[in-house]
Every structure is written in C-alpha cells, then in structure tokens.
Amino acid sequence: MLDFTYSEEEDLIRETFRRFAAEQVAPRAEEIDRAKGVPPELFRQVGRLGLFGMRYPESCGGTQSGVRGYLIAIEELARASLSVAALCTMQSLMGTYFIYRSDNSELHEKFLRPAIEGELMGTICITEPEAGSDLGAIATRATKVAGGWQIDGTKTWITSAPIADLFTVFALTGEKKELSVFLVEKGAPGLTVGKTIEKMGLWGSVNSEVAFDGVVVPENHLLGDLHGGRAYLTEILTKIRLTTAALAQGPGEAALEYAIKYAGERVQFGKPIGKFQALKVKIAEAATELEASRRLIDYATWREANELPNMKEASMAKLFASEAAVRACDTASRVLASYGYAMDYPVQRHLRDVRFTLFGGGTSEILDLIIAKEIGL
C-alpha cells in the first residue's frame, strides 16, 4: 500500500515556505502586479532559501531535497503569488536544467552555481510564433562556424526575457534538422529582447519575444550532445507537468479558502451566505476536486521520485489539477459575487493567474491526446 505521509523534512519545507510566502510574498502580491515585476531582492531571498537548488545535487551547489519537497515549496509560493512561483519555477527547472544536464564543470561554476544562489536568472527559449506544441515547426537554426555556433531565429512567450541573464535556446542543427540546445548570455551581439507581452494574468512574470540575429556562441555553449535536444526535452516533460500541477493547486486552494472564510462572514437575509445550500454544494464540489487533484499529484510525484514510467500519470495530474483549480477560482469568485470582481480582493488575481496553467506545460487538449495514447487508443 502506498504511503503518501509527509516526512519531517517535507513538513519543514512546507512550514518554511508557507511562512516565507505569508510574510514576504502575499503582502507584496498586489504591488508585484502593479509593478509588473518581482523585486530582485525577493528573487534572491528565494534563492537563499534554497529553492533554486532543490532539484540539483550538492556537487553543483544544490540540496537535492527530492521532487516532493520541491513541489511543496512551489505550491506554497503559488498560494501567495503565482507570478512569483512561475518566475521561480522557470529559474529552478527549465532555466537551469540543461546547463546542469550538460555536465560541463566550467559552465556549472560560471553559470549554474550563481543561478542556484539567485545571482543569475535563467530562462528557456522553445516556443516560436509558428511553433507551440508542434516542435516540428521550430525554425530557429544553429549553424557551425569557426570556434562555435551561429544562431538565427525568433522565439516568443519567453518568460523573464527582459531580466534574464541566461537563455537556453532550442535550435535546429545538421542536415536532418534535429534539435540541439545552446546557452546564450545576456548582451550577446545580435540578441534582441522585444517588448513585453501584455497578458490577462501573471502580471509579475514578464514574457517577451526574443530575436537571434547572427548570435555566435562558443563551442562549449552547446549543452549536451549535438542533436540531443528532443530527447533532453522528453526527459524533463513529466517534471514540467508535475510542477505546473503544483502551480495550479496553490491558487486553487488559496481562492477557495478565502471564499469559505468570506461565506462565513458575509450576512444576507439574516444569516451567513455559507448557510445557503446552493453555496454549500458549489464549495463542496470545488473542495472535492482539489482533494482529488492533490491525490493525482501525490501519485505521479511518487512515481517520479521512484523513477517509474510517468508520462500518463504526470499528464493526468497536470490536466486535472489545472482544470480543477480554474473551476475552484471561478467558484470562489461567484461566492464573493461583485467583490469577486473587485481588484481589492485577491480572488480576482487567483482567477486571472491560474488560467496560465491550462496551457503552461501543454494544453488540456494535447494532454488528452497523450493520455489517450498512453492507455492504448
């Protein structure tokens, strides 16, 4: 029988990040939205707490706290601000994973260790104007030149692009046009960061278009094996989907908790609105879905930690968690009625932000097709 009881270390991680989120993040969530950016010092504070190194071994500056501990920390940050959590997720997973995966000690010392400490910020460049879920449509190309590689192409929806120090870039290489991965530093000649994309939510986590016009990187900035990009991305897909599920769970639970508290205090027709049966049913259904979501995440996390095949389970967890969290935030907004539409209350922010999880890590429709394939259809 599987035991999903939290260990003492996991309980400590939750306590640490819940306190940090309550004291340092939640009070600034509205300010972060207005400023459309996370304060650099807050980002570095998260680094000092160890989040950016939780997935990595001590040999390169990490703490190797385990996948479950990492997801707990992400969820706690997401309860307070999904913008902060999304930024930190990019840093701790996609933005640094391929540097770590390169197993290049020089790159580890120069880039990975400072990134783990929060002194450098990384991002990943995969999506293009004509290439989202379809990796086969990627057009950015890397051509071999004397002493290195020349990169040409355009990427879009790049998280943290205006403030990133390190860009992990997926580009076509060779006659067969296979994917390879390259590291580009901020300020490289030919690298241009376009204007920030205005979004419905996640205002504190900025996204931009990035152009590579004859950007030349040295030979050792090829991360991993030549033509190994697609395989490397497959390695990390289940991790991305599990992390997105945790990102969704945070605001879903935070919004519903706020709605439950509000329903107990808001009096109409002589009694708290939480006493009305119609509201009880809505809240109970949302709470049930979030609990089911947590169990799917727990199971997929257990499989990931035990290095078991996990494509189906991680996809199910991400699919269900994102949809359940969106419904929970919508339910919370309905409970608050007109106040759920007011910017003075946090529910509107959770509702706007959580929709990102419907497509981050793969759209619900793509995940449906993956799950169908995994079960033999």
Give the pLDDT confidence of 357-376 residue by residue, as tens digits: 999 999 999 999 999 999 99
pLDDT digits (tens, 9 = 90+) for 265-306: 999 999 999 999 999 999 999 999 999 999 999 999 999 999
Averaged over 311-319, what is the pLDDT? 97
**pLDDT category of residue 178 using cuts at 50, 70 and 90:** very high
Averaged over 195-207, what is the pLDDT? 96
**Of residues 163, 185, 181, 220, the one with CA closest to residue 98:** 181
DSSP one-letter code for 338: G
**pLDDT category of residue 132 using cuts at 50, 70 and 90:** confident
For the chain, the average pLDDT equals 96
Q: Is the pLDDT of residue 1 over 80?
A: no
pLDDT digits (tens, 9 = 90+) for 44-71: 999 999 999 999 999 999 998 899 999 9
Residue 325: the pLDDT is 98
Helix residue spans in the chain (DSSP H): 8-20, 29-35, 40-49, 67-80, 82-92, 94-101, 105-107, 113-116, 229-265, 277-305, 311-336, 347-354, 364-374
Averaged over 138-165, what is the pLDDT? 97
Averaged over 105-116, what is the pLDDT? 96
Residue 152 CB-density burial (10 A; 0-12 exposed, 13-18 middle, 19+ buried): middle
Residue 130: the pLDDT is 92
Please, are residues 293 and 252 in contact by the beta-carbon 8 Å criterion?
yes
Q: Is the pLDDT of residue 258 over 80?
A: yes
Residue 2: the pLDDT is 75
Q: Is the pLDDT of residue 192 over 90?
A: yes
What is the pTM assigned to this prediction? Answer: 0.95
Residue 5: the pLDDT is 87
**Of residues 241, 114, 237, 89, the one with CA closest to residue 166:** 114
| Rounded-to-integer distance, Cα 74 and Cα 81, Å | 10
| Rounded-to-integer distance, Cα 299 and Cα 249, Å | 15
